[in-house]
Amino acid sequence: MTEAELRAPDERALREHLTSPRFQQGVDDGRWRLISLDWPHALISVSAAIRDGAPKEFVLRFDLSGYPQVGPTAGLWDSSSGSYLGSAGRPKGDRASMVFRGDWEQGRALYAPWDRVALTGHPDWAQRHPSHSWNSTRDLAFYLANVFEVLNSDDYLGV
Amino acid sequence: MQVYVHTAGKEDPELVEVPPTALVRELVVVDANGEELVWLEEVDQPLDVQLTLEAAGIRHRGHVHRGRCRKVTVSVRFNADSKAHAFSPANTVDRVLRWATGEHGFDLPPAEAAKHTLAVPGADHPLDPRVHIGSLVTPGSCDVKVDLLPKVRFEG
């Protein structure tokens, strides 16, 4: 068997989605980029609108176990310290402060219905926010496009 | 080289491998309905299909649209009102959103405009700004209906 055939279905599905036009378009547009993949974890950076004193991109550390039947979960990652990002460096703004809040789940997941941990903790969100909720027909580009949208809206204020 | 080819009926493009010396015509479908047209992204006039991809200005991993609608009439619903405008099929949702929130559309203040997005009625996701408006037409039609909706804030 080849190395690809030996991989579990969730890893195979993720690797297939990484080569899809949906994901590659985001890379080519400079919206996001894969930094590393060490299954079931991945580091992916997402670009942010220019704001004084704020970074031009934020790194997310994903847990992709069970993908895509089980949704991804991700937290903001500080690559220099190898740990989740502290409150001071987190994106601020009307929606950004909520999605990237550091006072919930120790900042290891995003507070949004596209994130596994948040959706599990808020069972009503799938019905209240179906347009933004994860389901098994979604892909990683759906998660990343939602994050990119929050970080590139006028209500994003920087860090 | 690889080219993102957007077409009617699919929000996501295909990534097509073609030699730079190929003709634009090689990107289109010819059937009983005739030959499709090809546009560069955000350009109003279709390309000359006799040109090579290079000569037509199509770059590696550039975006083109292929289809049969020379113009797409987009009707945007907002509250109880509706406004329509004709766009190139190669225009993006981002451009349509700027028109819909701008002075020729519903004339929202900039702060309000930033809080809105577009979605196809009944769809399970808001439209990505990169989608071509021509990708949303249904077979046999050159019309698109979308809703202008407030962005969602997740609480509780």
Q: What is the pLDDT of residues B35-84, one digit of tens each?
A: 899 999 999 999 999 999 999 999 999 999 999 999 999 999 999 999 99
Supply the DSSP symbol for B16.
E
Residue B30 confidence (pLDDT) above 90: no
- Measure the CA angle with vertex A118, ends A55 and A152; round to 5°: 30
How far does Cα A132 stand from its chain's mean position?
13
| pTM check: above 0.90 | yes
A24 touches chain B (CB under 8 A): yes
- Mean pLDDT over A139-144 rounds to 98
The predicted structure's pLDDT at residue B49 = 94
Fold of B2-67: Ubiquitin-like (UB roll) (3.10.20)
Q: Which CATH class is domain B72-150?
A: alpha beta
> Does the CA dihedral B87-B89-B90-B94 come out positive or negative?
positive
The distance of B7 to chain A (nearest Cα, Å) reads 13
Domain range list for chain B: 2-67, 72-150
User: How many domains are there within chain A?
Assistant: 1
Give the end-to-end CA distance of chain B in Å, rounded to a whole number.
48
- Per-residue model confidence as pLDDT tens digits over B95-145: 999 999 999 999 999 989 999 999 999 999 999 999 999 999 988 899 999
User: What gap in Å lies between CA A146 and CA A100, rounded to an integer?
Assistant: 12
Looking at CA atoms only, how far is residue B70 from chain A in angstroms? 25
Residue type, A130: P
Q: Are A101 and A111 in contact (CB under 8 A)?
A: yes
Give residue for tokens 């933004």. A132
The residue segments making up the domain with residue A45 are: 3-158
Give the residue from chain B lying closest to A119, CA to CA. Answer: B154
Residues of B in contact with A95 (CB under 8 A): 151, 153-154
Question: Can you give the pLDDT at residue B156?
Answer: 74
Set of chain B residues whose Cβ sits within 8 Å of the Cβ of A142: 125
Residue A66, domain CATH: 3.10.110.10
Residues of B with CB under 8 A from a CB of A: 4, 12-15, 61, 110-111, 114-115, 119, 123-126, 128, 130, 151-156
How many other CB atoms are there within 10 angstroms of residue B71's CB atom? 14
Helix orientation angle between A9-18 and A21-28, rounded to the nearest 10 degrees? 50
Q: In chain B, which residue's Cα lies nearest the Cα of A100?
A: B154
Torsion of CA B73, A21, A143, B122, to 10 degrees: 30
pLDDT at B140: 86
Rounded Cα distance, B23 and B149, in Å: 41
- Residue written as token pair 């009926």: B9
What is this model's ipTM? 0.90
pLDDT of residue A99: 97
Residues 82-141 of A with CB under 8 A from B: 94-95, 98-99, 111-113, 118, 122, 125, 129-132
